[in-house]
Chains A and B, each alone.
Chain A
Amino acid sequence: MIEQHYNFAFLDERTKKRIRRALLKAVAVPGYQVPFGSREMPFAYGWGTGGVQITASIIGQSDVLKVIDQGADDTTNAVNIRRFFERTTGVATTEATRDATLIQTRHRIPEVPLNSSQILVYQVPMPEPLARLEPRRRETIKMHALTEYGLMHVRLYEDIAQLGAISRAYDYPVMVNERYLMSPSPIPKFDNPKMHMNPALQLFGAGREKRLYAVPPYTAVRSLDFEDHPFEIQRWQHACALCGATESYLDEMIVDDQGSRLFVCSDSNYCEERRQFGNVGGQQVVRQEAA
């Protein structure tokens, strides 16, 4: 059912054109935050208004859209945004990563490798990686301009000094093309290596902060670290309870009052695909270890 009273993809053509122009700049300068005229959307801030505006400006009649939230296609945010685009554009939607040409995501990169004809759009709450370290916006702009990123390492140093390891597990800062420090949006650091030299175009939109940025295809993305404390991704001792995957990002779910836990793939489409191919997990909960 298409809402006839709205323009294609909700936004008017001039707004979409302006966002596309900002996107061109973002692609030309990988990792640089481009200001754009963010519009009020029929969502609350924090529900992906930046990502939705980018998707709305680049979506075409022939696109196939996939929307994920925390890896899953069937969570509230994903369902709402998918329905929004179904109603305002009428384009085909899918849950299969392989079939999609345009993927809007919150907090995950799909497990299935992307290809060069796909675009991944991230919803970003806080685009400025230095925001928590340097409160002055003018100063952070200057620091980006002069590539002064020592402060980010001060933060990482502090983590190691206080906690023994770099504790940041999501929104782990990256250097794009060895030039701009970038916040990868709150994806788990597990997904950071997937951004490196990815054939797909990656676009990032922050609606409230009115910034967008991009990682063009085949761009170097390096996670910051120390020589003697190298970057590491999360590992689990368990396999997915449903499909038995050992290489994917697992969600930990508490299933009873005794603290028993079930580990399942966070990427629901990946998990389902594996099960269709006959992979079966242990289906067992992990009992809480005796203290």
Chain B
Amino acid sequence: MKPGVLLSARGAGKAYAQQGQPRWACRDVSFDLYPGEVLAVVGESGSGKTTLLRLLAARLGCDEGSVHYDLRADLASGPGNLVDLALMSQAQLRRLARTDWGFVEQHARDGLRMNVSGGANVGERLMALGARNYGLLRREALSWMARVELDTGRIDDLPGSYSGGMQQRLQIARNLVTQPRLVFMDEPTTGLDVSVQARLLDLLRELVDELQLAAVVVTHDLAVARLLAQRMLVMKDGCVVEEGLTDRVLDDPQHPYTQLLVSSVLTP
């Protein structure tokens, strides 16, 4: 094990039962993620990308292998060690998930609380951690809305009245407010039109750079991987078929499936 690893998957896999037989949604995935590094997971629909992400974020338990995370000193029992997520208590995991992690859902509606205002959405994590000063929460919400380029005048509006791109920005602000070190993103730009996508990607790239975020980005859009990620995994039928630096994989694909993937991108 190399020092300084933030997140480490070791042979992680998840099986679902199908007619009494286990069917592996993803299998034997191993990689190390370092602080500040962005890893893209690409592959076609049904290749196990999202299942993998859910394993990494401890939303699902591994059926084989394990996922380890380098806890911050205030959460860890011992000095900064890689801890097996499966051995952590539910309370610890939930705390971890709302302090040191972020999770950007594909559909902003799943990640937002739609019945409270944008400001309350941004402040929720802080309130969960014990912030009890309204003025402070409000300032924090305003500053984060400005940072993700949302109109601060909409702070008291319900997210339902926001456009799709704005909802996605709000979701990002809501996740970053506790200064997490690792953010999971499930197809963050899917469903947005091209110009909004471009601006969102721009914003993400800036934030990742500025905050030294590590991120695991699941996407089927190779352009997103090219723009955001330093490294990428290519998945097919639940297995990682190729991994490497993004530019290397995209410019010189080795595996036949990756070659197919790269060649099927339309270039206008």
Q: Interface of A with B (CB < 8 Å)?
A: 142, 146, 148, 150-151, 153-155, 157-158, 160-162, 225-229
Q: Which residues of A contact B91 (CB under 8 A)?
A: 146
Q: Interface of B with A (CB < 8 Å)?
A: 90-91, 94, 113, 116-117, 119-120, 123-125, 127-130, 132-135, 137-138, 155-156
- B132 contacts A227, CB within 8 Å? yes
Q: Which residues of B contact A229 (CB under 8 A)?
A: 134
Q: Which residues of B contact A161 (CB under 8 A)?
A: 117, 119-120, 138, 155-156
Q: How far is the CA of A150 from the CA of B116 in the complex (A)?
A: 13
Given contacts A153-B132, A227-B133, contact A146 B90 (CB under 8 A): yes
Q: How far is the CA of A155 from the CA of B117 in the complex (A)?
A: 10
Q: Which residues of A contact B124 (CB under 8 A)?
A: 150-151, 154
Secondary structure of the B contact surface, majority rule: helix
Q: How far is the CA of A20 from the CA of B116 in the complex (A)?
A: 40
Q: How far is the CA of A153 from the CA of B131 in the complex (A)?
A: 9
Q: Which residues of B contact A225 (CB under 8 A)?
A: 132
Given A154-B123, A161-B117, list of 16 further CB < 8 A pairs? A146-B90, A148-B94, A150-B125, A151-B128, A154-B120, A155-B116, A157-B119, A157-B120, A157-B134, A158-B117, A161-B120, A225-B132, A226-B134, A227-B132, A228-B133, A228-B134
Given contacts A146-B90, A153-B127, A154-B123, contact A162 B133 (CB under 8 A): no
- B143, chain A: closest CB distance, angstroms: 16
Q: How far is the CA of A153 from the CA of B130 in the complex (A)?
A: 9
Cβ-defined partner of B127 (8 Å) among A150, A160, A227: A150
For B128, the closest partner residue in chain A by CB is A150
Q: Which residues of B contact A148 (CB under 8 A)?
A: 94, 128
For B118, the closest partner residue in chain A by CB is A161
- A210, chain B: closest CB distance, angstroms: 26
